[in-house]
């Protein structure tokens, strides 16, 4: 919500510069937290960093840049509806990279989500193709990033919490974003006077970006995946409601119906993933015969005792 205000209403239409402030702020704060010893860090050599972390940082910078750029063209409500396609792209990219196994049931679920988002897009009153392209690019890069985290970090036993993730990834993201900023936004900023620097709003946006990562860190450590999914569902609807309330974003009936279908598809997909992630409950037949063993031992002892008393008699 703050990013939308900064880019569309605060005379600062520079999504790359906005993302650069986020990465600079997160880099400095993460460095301070690590150096103060408030959070344990993971030490890695330069070879591991460039091979496993830098590609993820490149994709993350693309995700942030394209996602923020979409706010110049689309409403927060519609962007949130488009984000419902995230499970679809993650599933497709995962199947392609081998982190997901193809399932006809999952594929059918993805079709339902895609149809719902298509209906929501058709019902969007202020549809903008450029904004949709930006947001779609953000979703694709984020999907590749999530899959590469599994391949390059988790599969190699490298575990990073959000603070250490920012410590390693945010500086690299900053450097990656400097390149498009130099060619795309810096010339516009130098040759135009129709913009201003909303210091207060930029600071609030940077603090919110860091607080988001910290809240995720605290929530994961004290809750379950189910809680995370429920919190995500509440966040989706809350963003749509706030977008309509604060920014007067028009939302049509067809759009809500389409998003409702996609929303149900995402909920069903999350439920299936949670069920598949649970360890199988052992049945009675598969349990070891623990109750019979003591009885046999006690029976054997009783027989031994009887035999001893018979021998004594």
Q: Kindly report the average pLDDT of the chain as a whole number.
A: 83
* Whole-angstrom distance, CA of residue 152 vs CA of residue 118: 33
Q: What is the reported pLDDT for 253?
A: 87
pTM above the 0.85 mark?
no
280: pLDDT confidence band, cut at 50, 70 and 90? low
Give the per-residue pLDDT at 308. Answer: 47
- Give the list of residues 6+ apart from residue 53 with CB closer than 8 angstroms, or none: 44, 152, 153, 168, 169, 172
Q: Which residues contact 128 (CB under 8 A, 6 or more apart)?
A: 73, 74
CA atoms within 13 A of residue 249's CA, in its CB half-sphere = 28
Annotated domain spans of the chain = 1-74+128-206
Give the tens place of pLDDT for each residue, 164-187: 888 999 999 999 999 999 999 999
As a whole-number percent, the residues of the chain with pLDDT over 90 amount to: 38
């Amino acid at each position: 919500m703050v990013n939308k205000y900064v880019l569309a209403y605060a005379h600062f239409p520079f999504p790359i510069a906005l993302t650069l402030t986020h990465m600079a702020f997160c880099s400095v704060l993460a460095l301070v937290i690590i150096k103060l010893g408030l959070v344990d860090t993971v030490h890695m050599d330069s070879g591991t960093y460039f091979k496993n972390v830098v590609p993820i940082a490149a994709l993350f910078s693309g995700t942030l840049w394209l996602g923020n750029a979409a706010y110049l063209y689309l409403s927060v409500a519609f962007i949130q509806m488009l984000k419902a396609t995230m499970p679809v792209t993650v599933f497709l990219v995962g199947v392609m990279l081998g982190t997901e196994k193809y399932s006809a049931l999952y594929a059918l679920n993805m079709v339902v989500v895609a149809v719902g988002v298509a209906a929501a897009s058709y019902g969007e009153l202020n549809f903008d193709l450029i904004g949709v392209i930006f947001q779609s690019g953000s979703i694709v890069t984020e999907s590749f990033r999530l899959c590469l985290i599994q391949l390059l970090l988790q599969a190699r036993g490298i575990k990073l919490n959000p603070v250490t993730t920012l410590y390693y990834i945010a500086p690299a993201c900053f450097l990656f974003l400097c390149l498009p900023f130099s060619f795309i936004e810096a010339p516009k900023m130098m040759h135009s006077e129709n913009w201003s620097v909303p210091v207060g709003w930029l600071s609030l946006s940077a603090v919110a970006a860091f607080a988001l990562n910290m809240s995720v860190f605290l929530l994961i450590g004290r809750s379950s995946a189910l809680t995370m999914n429920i919190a995500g569902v509440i966040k989706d609807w809350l963003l749509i409601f706030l977008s309509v309330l604060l920014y007067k974003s028009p939302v049509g009936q067809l759009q809500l119906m389409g998003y409702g279908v996609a929303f149900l598809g995402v909920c069903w997909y999350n439920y299936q993933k949670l069920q598949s992630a649970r360890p199988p409950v052992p049945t009675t037949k598969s349990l070891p015969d623990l109750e019979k063993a003591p009885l046999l031992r006690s029976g054997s002892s009783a027989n031994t005792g009887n035999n001893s008393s018979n021998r004594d008699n």
